[in-house]
Structure 1
Amino acid sequence: MDLGISGKVALVTGGSAGIGLAAAKSLAREGCDVCVAARNPERLADAVVELQEYGKVVHAVLADVEDPQSAERLVRETRDVLGPIDILVANAGGPPPGRFVDVTAAEWDVAVQRNLLGTVRLMRAALPEMRARGWGRIVTVTSRSAREAIDGLALSNATRSAVAGMVRTLAREVGGDGVLVNNVMPGPIDTDRLRDLSGGVEGLAERGANVPLGRVGRAEEVGDVVAFLASERASFVNGISLLVDGGESRVIA
């Protein structure tokens, strides 16, 4: 299926590894020029090498979305190098685990800045040009915790669900301008974060046993969903929060 986004410009944050890198690869495979942003310079350099295999223009920016100044800089630099942003994939690493009674005020501040306000700032920076051109796609990457609270992940439960609410709100405001806004909620995906939370490879196998498909997901399986939501083929999909969890969640609504 041709997704109809060849030649589009995409900015992917958290794009040096895991789901962010997988999303960047899926978009590059569909013909997008891609800017990836991340905090780790070595991993960012490796990601550029991998993405260049798809034959598209790739740019990288060292940035942390926790920094209030980073969003404007990311959008400006992407525009200067690749052109105006058509597709924004707002992805950030998950906050640390912890129960509500154990999380510190400082940890709350970091989680809100990185996982909520970082996304808000990216949207605000990229949105005006999308609306002016009458076409745009914004895809946020959160977690199953945005739909179903997970024990021991107080920070994720709070900030991820806030992003999902923001997506629904913004989608209603800008859909008429040709800008579609959607949210992807990955479940158990084989990433460094899940390995850390699960206690390594053996823990991943145990985690996968709870999924109806009998395994954890692969990052590229989420990346392809992101690319679809960013595409012309998803032209009537707006404001959703889509679970990509192999059927693990029992939530109906």
Structure 2
Amino acid sequence: MDLGLKGRKAILIGANGGIGRKVAKTLAAEGCHVAICGRTQDKVDTVVGELQSSGVTVHAKALDVTDAGAVPAFVKEAADKLGGCDIFISFTSANPGEDTDDGWETILKTDILPMRRGIEAAMPFLEKSDAASIICMSSTGAVEEFMGVQPYNSLKAAVMNYAAALSQNLAGKGIRANCITPGPVMCEDGPWAYIRDNMKEFYEDTLSKIPMGRLTDGDELARTIAFIASPSCKAMTGANIVVDGGYTKRVQF
């Protein structure tokens, strides 16, 4: 299937590793021009090297997403370099795992606000696209008990609500907004690889709760995201797509 991504432009925040890195590579392989940013220059440079063989335009920069002006400036710079923006996704995330003021503030500054600021900055460019797509990244921690009382789960639930509201507000402008809700995802440079190697009891307990008997592979999730973001999925907006191997037990109405 031709997803219609060739020549499209994607701006990806926090795509220097993990799921974001997988999505950047998948989109580039489909011929989509890609802009990425991340906190670490070495990681950004590594992803750039992986993308360049695809023959697409790549723009990249290391930045601190907790700086209020950094993400909006990058979005505008990236749209200028790529010639617009058809797809916007923010992958930045943090999970201190503690129900404290500092924990809440960390997630707001690292995860929620970079997403909101990026969407706002991308809006003038998305409005000019004939296939504009916003994807917000949530987590099954928002819908299933996971690691007790902590702000990460609550704020990821807020992401679902935010994406749904965006979809209603922007549909008339031809801009789609959907939410992706992954369960545990295995990427070679992601948190679950660390958990597997250093927190074996917790890893095995989580694995035992996944009916498929394995974690979602990062490439599998990236292909799902690429499809949802693409013009091939042009009628879908306001959806919450759960990708978790059956980890979530609720009926997905």
TM-score by length of 1: 0.92
Describe the superposition over 1:58-116 as per-residue Cα deviations: whole angstroms up to 9, x where unpaired: 11111232221022211111022111111101111232223x3xx2x222212112221
Does residue 1:145 correspond to 2:141, yes or no? yes
Quick check: 2:76–2:122 contact (8 Å CA) kept in 1?
Answer: no
| Matched residue, 1:186 | 182
Quick check: 1:189–1:217 contact (8 Å CA) kept in 2?
Answer: yes
Q: How high is the sequence identity, in percent, across the aligned residues?
A: 29
Supply the distance in 2 between the matched residues of 1:28 and 1:38 (Cα, whole angstroms): 17
Q: Please report the RMSD computed on the Cα atoms of aligned residues, expressed in angstroms.
A: 1.8
Quick check: 2:212–2:245 contact (8 Å CA) kept in 1?
Answer: yes
| Matched residue, 2:193 | 195
SS at match of 1:106: helix
Instruction: Read off the aligned partner of 2:168 and give its amino acid letter.
Output: R
Supply the distance in 1 between the matched residues of 2:176 and 2:4 (Cα, whole angstroms): 15
SS at match of 2:120: helix
| Matched residue, 2:96 | 96
The change in CA–CA distance for 1:149 and 1:63 in structure 2 (over 3 A counts) is farther
Shift of 1:46: 0.6
Shift of 1:22: 0.5
Any unmatched runs of 5+ in structure 1? none
| Matched residue, 1:241 | 240
**Structure 1 stretch 193-202 or stretch 63-72: which is displaced more?**
193-202
Instruction: Read off the aligned partner of 2:219 and give its amino acid letter.
Output: E
Instruction: Read off the aligned partner of 1:244 and give its amino acid letter.
Output: V
Residue correspondence of structure 1 range 1-253 to structure 2 within 5 A? 1-98=1-98, 100=99, 103=100, 105-152=101-148, 154-191=150-187, 192-197=190-195, 200=198, 202=200, 204=203, 206-252=205-251, 253=253
Any unmatched runs of 5+ in structure 2? none
Quick check: 2:86–2:129 contact (8 Å CA) kept in 1?
Answer: no
TM-score by length of 2: 0.92
Quick check: 1:19–1:219 contact (8 Å CA) kept in 2?
Answer: yes
Supply the distance in 2 between the matched residues of 1:128 and 1:8 (Cα, whole angstroms): 16
Supply the distance in 2 between the matched residues of 1:122 and 1:246 (Cα, whole angstroms): 30
Instruction: Read off the aligned partner of 1:183 and give its amino acid letter.
Output: C
Shift of 1:43: 0.9
Displaced runs of 4+ in structure 1, greater than 3 A? 132-135, 195-207
Count of matched residue pairs? 249
The change in CA–CA distance for 1:146 and 1:40 in structure 2 (over 3 A counts) is same
SS at match of 2:165: helix
SS at match of 2:216: coil
Supply the distance in 2 between the matched residues of 1:75 and 1:179 (Cα, whole angstroms): 17
SS at match of 1:251: coil
**Structure 1 stretch 48-57 or stretch 160-169: which is displaced more?**
48-57
Shift of 1:129: 2.2
Supply the distance in 2 between the matched residues of 1:72 and 1:4 (Cα, whole angstroms): 27
